[in-house]
Structure 1
Amino acid sequence: MSSPADELGHLLAPQPQAGLQTRSAQVDGVTDRGVNLRIGDELLLDVPCSEGYRNRSAGDWVAVTKSARPVVVWRLGEDPGETTEAEIRELAAEVATDLQVVGAVSWGTEAPPGTGWQSVIGTFVRKGAQGKAEYYHQLAATTEPPPPTPPARPPSPVTISPTSSGTWRGGRPDSYASHPTQGDWTGRGNRRGGWFYGTQIAAACAGKTVASMAVTFTRARGSGVNAKRPLHVYLHDYTSPPSGQLSLGSGPEDLLRLSVGSRGTATLPASWRSALASGSARGLAIYAAGRTDYLAVTGGALRITFAAP
């Protein structure tokens, strides 16, 4: 039998908590290893995520396990189903643009049964503006009106990756920098980085109306402080890396703020997409002075969407 002292000691002793114990945290940035989490004044880097946490984005509030090695288990907030409906519809419309649908196909040696059939005396075909086949049937006599002309659809989006990139310091290429870099960490001079696309951007936009351009960057690890820092982005007019100084065009625009290892996508200003589409600008660059916003960046892929003609 237990004594009253033993029973009191058992009641006062810390009891193990049943079930999964979590706490809330906010996502500071999405990385290739997980997410960076902000908990109070502390920044946790590359926290792994369960498969249940999908469509990850900076600013999300998530549940993270209380453990020596925390794991993000789910997103907090509304059911994402409703918020992603527009994205699903946009993707479905994009896929439909690439398809050509015929209601039914049949044949035989006799005239088709039923009403509404019309005799074709000639068939014409051509390749349309978007590379899709267009058919036209010439009739002996019209007994039914033709179906309505489908609304014009925008050309499919394109993604353009840089053909090269680099960093410049002191008016010449800086071979010591592994990735495009901005700022000065060591006191040896400010760096500027650039991404080059040849003539791909203007070629992809020729004859089309550009609706938007968005660029994706990932902040390299081991560059500056871990906390978020802004990318000071500029345009440039080079199709390939220059042997001398990389001169900057319009800018800066602080399109993104990234913590170390995190990835982000930003929409370019309307004036910038017009310049890139016309070929008056050719690529993107970053530049900063001093240590405060020192960082290195990878990526640079441009996604271009178009409006219907």
Structure 2
Amino acid sequence: MADPWAGEAERLAETLQQAGAGDNGIVSLKVADVTESGRVNLELGDGSLLLDVACPDSYRDRAAGDWVAVRLSSVPVVLWRLGDDPAESEGDRVQAAAEQAALDLQVVRAATYGTAGPSGSGWQAASAVYVRKIDGRLELYFQVADDSDPSPSTPDVPTPKPATISPSDAGTWRGGRPDEYASAPTQGDWTGRGNRRGAWFYGSKISDACAGKTVSKMTVAFSRKTGSGVNAKRPLHLYLHNHSSPPSGQLNLGDGPEDLLRLSVGAKGTASLPKSWVNALASGSAKGLAVYASGRTDYMAVTGGKITITFS
């Protein structure tokens, strides 16, 4: 019986030779994508992919485009990431996270005082103390007889925290009706039985989260399922739709397509939505996202659909 791994072993040997690996079998390779499991797909010299390669815990913030040191063997493994020391950027990120955590846990947002009553709405007198709620936290004002020692100024109201909206439902349509054979939203046609279109549904959760706020951007996260289409990176053809929930008939597509993200098999990724789409989703004139493609070239099944909304 032929060895099923012979071809893979031969390809790894060729890669070692092309990359100039030493006796220890270590080469530098570029990350094509990060997979849903947190592993990586790597680009080989001939343009093919080395799929789902394990990484050490020390390799954090993995991203497509990273260069990594890899030991190629029967079970390839990433050893470390190549590049600049991340200490400075890591410090900034930790500081920002600490500041946000302090704001989240803070019960009193501001404490000020003066000889007159406080200005603005929402105040309640508690003896000589006034209190109101701003951005979910308390703000105190103390009325005093002498303010020769000036009061601290009131800090600005912080920007609302980002909101993350998960789909309430998802599905695939083919031939004008739901496709019960698709386990996840799917685009394209692999078998010749007709093009599929997939979608994610959010009800009114997106517009509700945006009500009364200024939206600066929206991003959406997807993962490409294994066993769907070719292994190489292919684009997701994204559309808007106006369905609050899955329709019993055809899924009607809105604005699109926008090819915002390319994923290899098993990979995950995040894309920023166009400003016009952000406005449509925030206002409720569009309700959700869909994918659609024609034929085998960009065929894939996709999971995820979680939208993160950032405010200003």
Residue number in structure 2 paired with 1:300: 305
- The answer to whether the 8 A contact 1:52-1:73 is kept is no
How far is 1:62 from its partner? 0.4
Can you list the C-alpha shifts for 1:119-148, whole angstroms capped at 9, x where unaligned?
x960111211x1111111111222211112
**Deviation larger for 275-284 or 91-100:** 91-100
* Whole-Å separation in 2 of the counterparts to 1:86 and 1:297: 34
Can you list the C-alpha shifts for 1:252-300, whole angstroms capped at 9, x where unaligned?
1111000000000011111111111111111000001111000010000
* Whole-Å separation in 2 of the counterparts to 1:21 and 1:83: 32
Alpha carbons of structure 1 residues 126 and 171: separation in structure 2 relative to 1, 3 Å = same
Residues 175-186 of structure 1 mapped to structure 2, 5 A cutoff: 175-186=180-191
Alpha carbons of structure 1 residues 86 and 256: separation in structure 2 relative to 1, 3 Å = farther
- The answer to whether the 8 A contact 1:160-1:301 is kept is yes
- The answer to whether the 8 A contact 1:37-1:44 is kept is yes
How far is 1:87 from its partner? 3.3
Matched residue SS, 2:192? coil
How far is 1:244 from its partner? 0.7
Counterpart residue identity of residue 26, structure 2: T
* Whole-Å separation in 2 of the counterparts to 1:44 and 1:214: 28
Residue number in structure 1 paired with 2:29: 25
* Whole-Å separation in 1 of the counterparts to 2:23 and 2:152: 61
How far is 1:88 from its partner? 3.3
- The answer to whether the 8 A contact 1:195-1:283 is kept is yes
Residue number in structure 2 paired with 1:53: 59
Q: Gaps spanning 5+ residues in structure 2: where?
A: 1-20, 109-125
Tell me which of 156, 159, 165 is aligned to 1:160: 165
* Whole-Å separation in 2 of the counterparts to 1:198 and 1:267: 21
RMSD over aligned CA atoms reads: 2.0
Tell me which of 201, 212, 215 is aligned to 1:196: 201
* Whole-Å separation in 2 of the counterparts to 1:83 and 1:235: 35
Can you list the C-alpha shifts for 1:142-200, whole angstroms capped at 9, x where unaligned?
22111122123101111110000000011110000000000011111110000001110
- The answer to whether the 8 A contact 2:107-2:138 is kept is no
Residues 68-217 of structure 1 mapped to structure 2, 5 A cutoff: 68-100=74-106, 122-128=128-134, 130-217=135-222
Residue number in structure 2 paired with 1:225: 230
Query: Structure 1: which 4+ aligned runs deviate by more than 3 Å?
Result: 17-21, 83-90
Give the number of the structure whose alpha-carbon radius of gyration is greater: 1
Question: What TM-score results when the alignment is normalised by the length of structure 1?
Answer: 0.84
How far is 1:73 from its partner? 1.0
Q: Gaps spanning 5+ residues in structure 1: where?
A: 1-16, 103-119
Alpha carbons of structure 1 residues 86 and 274: separation in structure 2 relative to 1, 3 Å = farther
How far is 1:85 from its partner? 4.4
Figure out how many residues of one structure are paired with residues of the other and give that number: 274
Residue number in structure 1 paired with 2:15: none
* Whole-Å separation in 2 of the counterparts to 1:143 and 1:19: 77
**Deviation larger for 215-224 or 131-140:** 131-140
Matched, 1:273 2:278: yes
How far is 1:52 from its partner? 1.7
**Deviation larger for 88-97 or 25-34:** 88-97
Alpha carbons of structure 1 residues 53 and 20: separation in structure 2 relative to 1, 3 Å = farther
* Whole-Å separation in 2 of the counterparts to 1:66 and 1:45: 12
Q: Percent same amino acid at aligned positions?
A: 62
Residue number in structure 2 paired with 1:66: 72
Residue number in structure 1 paired with 2:4: none
Tell me which of 37, 44, 47 is aligned to 1:39: 44
Alpha carbons of structure 1 residues 245 and 74: separation in structure 2 relative to 1, 3 Å = same
Counterpart residue identity of residue 131, structure 2: V
- The answer to whether the 8 A contact 2:185-2:302 is kept is yes
Question: What TM-score results when the alignment is normalised by the length of structure 2?
Answer: 0.83
* Whole-Å separation in 1 of the counterparts to 2:91 and 2:241: 37
